Amino acid sequence: MDDLYKTYPHNPPHYFVPNAMYMVTGAILHKQHLLKEDHRKAFFLKTLFERAVLLGWNLEAWAVLSNHYHFVAQSPPQAVTLQKLIRQLHSITAIEINRSDNLPGRQVWFNYWDTCLTYEKSYLGRLHYVHMNPVKHGLAESALDYPFCSYRWFIERGDPNLQGLVFGQAIDRVKVLDEF
């Protein structure tokens, strides 16, 4: 296999491509709602932002719900660091959740799934999907009202041309593991 494409032994295999776009979904074990409180979602996001910066991942969209999360990010030249990013994110947040619940050692996270986005329409559709995820799950009538997703950030800071492309992309046929 070409040196640009690294794999991580997993089923299904994870492909790591430098400077590529990825969508990641992570789920809490048994679909438990361990991130129900706002301070837990805020801590999760703070940890995600810190780990992403530390490992060179450029976040473009995110949504944190009570039992799962999604994010879209551009990989650094060392794309294999996605495994490290997720491992650190899950470890740090699990320790904090378990400390708060006085349940040390409990397994919090079930798994994560990543997709390397190789087509522009797929990338745009997933950006739209992640921005709108709280609305899909009935947590807000408008994604602007949900503080644990990137919609407001994207509206306030995003390029208007990219916004038009993203929100012009239908999401009803986007296939994402999201039955949590």
**Residue at 47 is within a domain:** yes
Helix axes 160-167, 120-136, angle to 10 degrees: 80
Can you give the residue range of the structural domain that contains 62? 15-167
∠82-113-178 over CA atoms, to 5°?
135
**Residue at 180 is within a domain:** no
**Residue at 141 is within a domain:** yes
Residues 6+ apart with CB under 8 A from 37: none
Given a contact cutoff of 8 angstroms between Cβ atoms, the answer to whether 70 and 84 are in contact is: no
**Residue at 65 is within a domain:** yes
pLDDT for 1 beyond 70: no
Given a contact cutoff of 8 angstroms between Cβ atoms, the answer to whether 82 and 22 are in contact is: yes
**Residue at 179 is within a domain:** no
pLDDT for 69 beyond 50: yes
pLDDT in tens, 84-124: 999 999 999 999 999 999 999 999 999 999 999 999 999 99
**Residue at 6 is within a domain:** no
Average pLDDT value for the chain? 91
The residues with which 22 forms a beta bridge, in sequence order, are: 73, 116
State the pLDDT confidence band at 3, using cuts at 50, 70 and 90: very low
**Residue at 133 is within a domain:** yes
Could you give the number of structural domains in the chain?
Answer: 1
How many helices (H) and strands (E) would you count in the chain? Answer: 5, 6
Which of 17, 179, 7 has its CA nearest to residue 110?
A: 179
Residue with the larger pLDDT of the pair 86 and 177? 86
Residues 6+ apart with CB under 8 A from 19: 74, 75, 76, 77, 79
pLDDT for 5 beyond 50: no
**Residue at 172 is within a domain:** no
Q: Give the percent of the chain with pLDDT over 70.
A: 91
Which of 108, 5, 127 has its CA nearest to residue 59?
A: 127
pLDDT in tens, 13-61: 667 788 999 999 999 999 999 999 999 999 999 999 999 999 999 999 9
In Å, how far are 33, 147, 158 from 163, measured between CA atoms?
31, 19, 7
Does the N-terminal peptide bond of residue 12 adopt cis geometry, omega within 30 degrees of 0? yes
Q: In CATH, what number is assigned to the domain containing residue 52?
A: 3.30.70.1290
